[in-house]
Amino acid sequence: MRGTRVLVLNSGSSSVKYQLVDMADGSRLASGIVERIGEGPVADHSAALKQVADELSSQGLGLDSPELAAVGHRVVHGGTRFTEPTLITDEVVEEIEKLIPLAPLHNPANVTGIKVARELRPDLPQVAIFDTAFHSTIPERAARYAIDTATADAYGIRRYGFHGTSHAYVSRAAAKLLGKDPSEVNTIVLHLGNGASASAVEGGVCVDTSMGLTPLEGLVMGTRSGDLDPAVIFHLARVGGMSPDDIDTLLNKRSGLLGLCGDNDMREIGRRMGEGDRAARLAFDIYIHRLRKYVGAYTAVLGRVDAIVFTAGVGENSAAVREAAMQRLDALGIEVDAALNAVRGSSARLISAEGSRVAVAVVPTDEELEIATQAYALVSD
Ligand code: AMP
């Protein structure tokens, strides 16, 4: 009889986050983060994972425990190759490495984390869970960009989408909140964290999402611009003399809320707006305007919307963002109850007004639990 515990690893370029989940009841037995990899005592990912193993051992939860059923690794980009949770083999590692050009900032660290974990426990099933997988059902008409097909195919250019484990978890949890099966519910999920993305989920199946080839497209984010005219890039190169790397950094790291007003934290923006700060107000208004455009677009994509769900740091905590985003949408059957919206909480809850045709909900996301659930389902088959 195999154990019921899954170690979830999220290996980033300079940090490794971990959670040990017991799938018997979904409880967290341990969690932590090893940061500043490459600086000081934690020389590399190998040292970081050994530190994770030591931290677990010191709590009597060592990697050698027979209770451990699997390791679930978050992998950012699965390309078109990986659309399901995948048991990791040498061949799978090679295939994930081949996808590095599509996610140069993320996949290398994911691969390193996988390799080191496999060295530590070669006998243990290790499962890759891809951020793009939930979006693999998006039809071609929504996934393709309107550019020359041969060029798009040659370079793998299409909409892949990200935050997939969150969109999957939250859309299922929203159906549960409504007392329905996911197959009966059409949902617009608004994942609003430092990174942000929207998705349209029809009967549990994703049919469109706002992030594209990379996480840059779509909503205004903490530091990313989201949608813009692609000619802005040529203009910056030709007239501004900027290199592709300069523009990449500008649009990914120095744009969005940060670029607009100097702050990327919605709490700080709210505080500044309270003091009458005009740059913070404009940044907020631009953020909300983009969000509302996607709600309108995905209403048209789905035809019938049953629920709109807010999740992640901003979506779960900012009543001001939810209120502004949902204002004057009664023509679409969307009405929020101001008092319910203002209540702070840490569990899934409805904030729509009685009689609102569309349910509006706040659902805390849990990407680690989703990764553990998917990994466990694969190994306990
Ligand atoms: P995430 O990426 O999901 O961890 O979300 C992080 C972001 O959530 C932060 O950058 C903040 O902008 C936002 N956030 C966290 N707590 C609050 C809060 N109480 N009110 C408004 N925004 C918040």
Q: What six digits make up the tokens of 165? A: 């484990």
Report d(CA 63, CA 117) in Å as an integer: 10
Contact 325, 288 (CB under 8 A): yes
Percent of all residues in the chain with a pLDDT value above 70, rounded to a whole number: 100
In the chain, the percentage of residues whose pLDDT exceeds 90 is 93
User: Which residue numbers are catalytic?
Assistant: 131
Q: What is the pLDDT of residues 340-364, one digit of tens each?
A: 999 999 999 999 999 999 999 999 9
pLDDT in tens, 11-54: 988 899 999 999 999 999 999 999 999 888 899 988 999 999 99
* Distance between CA atoms of residues 18 and 5, nearest Å: 13
Rounded Cα distance between 168 and 25, Å, is: 20
Cβ atoms of 309 and 174 within 8 Å: the answer is yes
Q: Which CATH class is domain 179-367?
A: alpha beta
Strand pairing report for 68-75 and 5-11? parallel
Residue 305: helix, strand or coil by DSSP? coil
For residue 84, give the amino acid letter: E
Domain 5-130 CATH (choose: 3.40.30.10, 3.30.420.40, 1.10.3210.10, 3.40.640.10): 3.30.420.40
Distance (Å) from CA 266 to ligand 1 centroid: 6
Close Cβ partners of 170 (under 8 Å, ≥ 6 residues apart):
189, 191, 309, 311, 363, 365
At residue 41, the pLDDT reads: 87
CA distance 219 to 291: 6
Three-class SS state of 235: helix
Q: Which are the contacts of 141, defined by CB distance < 8 A and separation ≥ 6?
A: none
pLDDT tens digits for 260-306? 999 999 999 999 999 999 999 999 999 999 999 999 999 999 999 99
Mean pLDDT score of the chain, rounded to an integer? 96
The finding on whether 267 has its CB within 6 A of some atom of ligand 1 is yes
Question: How far lies 29's CA from each of 2, 20, 117, 124, 186, in Å?
Answer: 17, 5, 19, 19, 34
CA distance 359 to 286: 25
Pocket test for ligand 1, best of 169, 266, 268 (most atoms within 8 A of CB): 266
The pLDDT of residue 380 is above 80? yes
108-117, 138-147, 269-278, 356-365, range with the lowest pLDDT: 108-117
Confidence of residue 1 (pLDDT cuts 50, 70, 90): low
Confidence of residue 232 (pLDDT cuts 50, 70, 90): very high
Residues 343, 50 contacting (CB under 8 angstroms): no
pLDDT recorded at residue 381 = 78
List the alpha helices (DSSP H) in the chain.
45-58, 90-98, 107-120, 140-143, 149-155, 164-177, 231-238, 244-253, 256-261, 266-274, 278-302, 312-317, 319-326, 338-342, 367-379
Mutation probe of ligand 1 site: the residue of 166, 267, 316 with most atoms within 8 A of C-beta = 267
The 10 Å Cβ neighbour count of residue 36 is: 11
Residue 106 pLDDT: 87
Instruction: Write out pLDDT tens, residues 54-75.
Output: 999 999 998 888 999 999 999 9
100 strand-pairing partners: none
Mutate to test the pocket of ligand 1, among 191, 260, 318, 343 (most ligand atoms within 8 A of CB): 318
Q: What tens digit of pLDDT does each residue of 82-107 get?
A: 999 999 999 999 999 999 999 888 89
For ligand 1, atom 18, name the residue with the nearest CA: 317
Instruction: Report the pLDDT value the prediction gives residue 28, as an integer from 0 to 100.
Output: 96
Give domain limits for the chain: 5-130, 179-367
Task: Tell me, using a 6 A CB cutoff, whether residue 317 lines ligand 1.
Answer: yes
Centre of ligand 1 from the C-alpha of residue 91, in Å: 38
What pLDDT shows up at residue 2?
A: 76
Instruction: Take residue 284 and report the two structure tokens written for it.
Output: 């907020």
CA angle 131, 291, 360 (to 5 degrees): 85
Mean of the pLDDT values across residues 142-158? 97
Secondary structure (DSSP) of 63-85: TT-TTEEEEEEEES--TTT--S-
pLDDT level of residue 153 (50, 70, 90 thresholds): very high
CB of 313 within 6 A of ligand 1: the answer is yes
User: What does the buried/exposed string (b/e) look like for 250-287 if buried means 16 or more CB atoms within 10 Å of the residue's CB?
Assistant: bbbeebbbbbbbebbebeebbebbeeebeebeebbebb
Neighbours of 377 (CB within 10 A): 13
DSSP letters of 266-298? Answer: HHHHHHHHHTT-HHHHHHHHHHHHHHHHHHHHH
**CATH topology agreement for domains 5-130 and 179-367:** yes
pLDDT digits (tens, 9 = 90+) for 278-291: 999 999 999 999 99
